[in-house]
A = this chain, B = another copy of it.
Amino acid sequence: MNETEADDEVRAESFRQARSARRLELVEDYLELIADLIDDHGEARQVDIAARLGVAQPTVAKMLRRLSKDGFITQRPYRGVFLTEEGRAVAERSRTRHRIVEAFLCAVGVSPETARLDAEGIEHHVSAETLEVFERFLERAADA
């Protein structure tokens, strides 16, 4: 049945997209958080990142090595973490998207507390098209 096979392929595509988004979740959260820490406190230290994420510090150390290897950050040993141009770009995009998703949830009637919790996961699965829809919704809500 060619129909069935084609159908499988179509369905599989959404799972593939979700898996690929899942792989990027952590990278986006780390970079956004590092940007926040730098902007708020002038530096981003492993202990602070760990405390904000709710994980152990060596977990952060391992992740930072990966982010370095992939060119998103630079590290000065025993000093803080710094964003490369690419890292800063990803952080900004993630931060913007995160804010829109959280504001959208609030606008549609979710309590601020729940919006905060849910947005942390939802943000990573919102495509450009959906994000635009959310933005337009917010604009219209602001008018009313």
Contact = CB atoms under 8 A, between A and B. Distances in A.
A117 B21 CA distance: 11
A54 B12 CA distance: 5
A48 B7 CA distance: 12
Size class of the contact patch on chain A: 35 or more
| Stoichiometry (number of copies) | 2
A129 interface: yes
A119 B22 CA distance: 13
A120 B122 CA distance: 11
Majority secondary structure of chain A interface residues (helix, strand, loop or mixed) = helix
Nearest to A114: B129
Contacts of A105: 130, 133
A111 interface: yes
B117 A14 contact: yes
Contact of A18 (B17, B120, B134): B120
Contacts of A125: 118, 120-122, 125
